[in-house]
A and B are shown apart, each in its own frame.
Chain A
Amino acid sequence: MKITIETPKPGEEDEIILRCASVDEKMLKLIQALKTEKDTLTGYVEDKIQKLTLKDIYYFESVDNKVYAYTAKQVYEVHKKLYEIEEEYADTDFLRISKAVVVNVSKITYVRPMLNGRFEGKLKNNETVIISRQYVPALKAQLDI
């Protein structure tokens, strides 16, 4: 995709124009992100504060009333509740897969069943997440099955 940045004339408002042959799923997500500015959030690690890009986050996990965001190599605390994350990013690739985890579905390499009726999701950074049976229908819906 070609990206062109033009400087507006003095007095003109900043504007984003999308030119595309068809409004596909990727384009819709881009529009959604532009509209809501939801593509970043603040992460805290030790004494540092860092802006995290949503697409770099593999999953969110709630541990002892704290919520952590896991990227490929780093873990950040985020000052949000898991249900808030679930609601806020409902129209993105993030999906609740268990009581304690909201995963970025686009980071799942594959899923496989476990003998206990749950599924195991292998992520692109080789970590695994457990998908509770009750959330499997939601995952199927996310994948348009």
Chain B
Amino acid sequence: MKKIGEYIKWYFYITTSILMVTAVVFSLSGTETLPAPTLWQVMLSGLATTLVTVTIVYIDCKSAMGEVLKYFIHYIALSGVMVPLGIWFGWLRFSVPGIVMMLVAVAAVYLLAFGAYYIIDLKAAKKMNQRLKEKYGEE
């Protein structure tokens, strides 16, 4: 049950980040109105990338190098999912500039989602540290 809660949290962080990046891309491209299917496409993209994320990020790596490799593979996997989805949704054309644009967008979503997660964790750590101090401070 806790795991499902965790996955739902990831879904919201990732989907919100995709929505933000989509809004920026649409604004930059001069599109004034968001096509109705876009919201469903964003939610579907969020679901697909959440599944990739929860499959990879919880793998325990023994070394720092392993961790770096894990996140590199994660990014490649996300891009591997988002490029075909982007083409299918009509967000990009199958061309070098189109794929590069999608890789940049995936990186932006990555930073936003992980940034949000990190900020939440910082808050949780602050609370735990406060309690550690109160409970075991004098020991």
Contact = CB atoms under 8 A, between A and B. Distances in A.
A113 B118 contact: yes
Contact of B128 (A106, A116, A133, A139): A139
Interface in A96-125: 98-99, 105-106, 108-113, 115-117, 119
B124 A108 contact: no
B125 A106 contact: no
B127 interface: yes
A117 B139 contact: no
B25 to A, nearest CB: 26
Tell me the interface secondary structure of chain B in the complex.
Answer: helix
B132 A136 contact: no
A119 B125 contact: yes
16 contacts: A105-B136, A106-B135, A108-B136, A111-B129, A113-B122, A113-B125, A115-B114, A116-B71, A119-B125, A139-B128, A140-B124, A143-B128, A143-B135, A144-B135, A145-B127, A145-B128
Interface of A: 93, 98-99, 105-106, 108-113, 115-117, 119, 132-134, 136-137, 139-140, 143-145
Interface of B: 2-3, 6, 57-58, 60, 67, 70-71, 114, 117-118, 121-122, 124-125, 127-129, 131-132, 135-136, 139
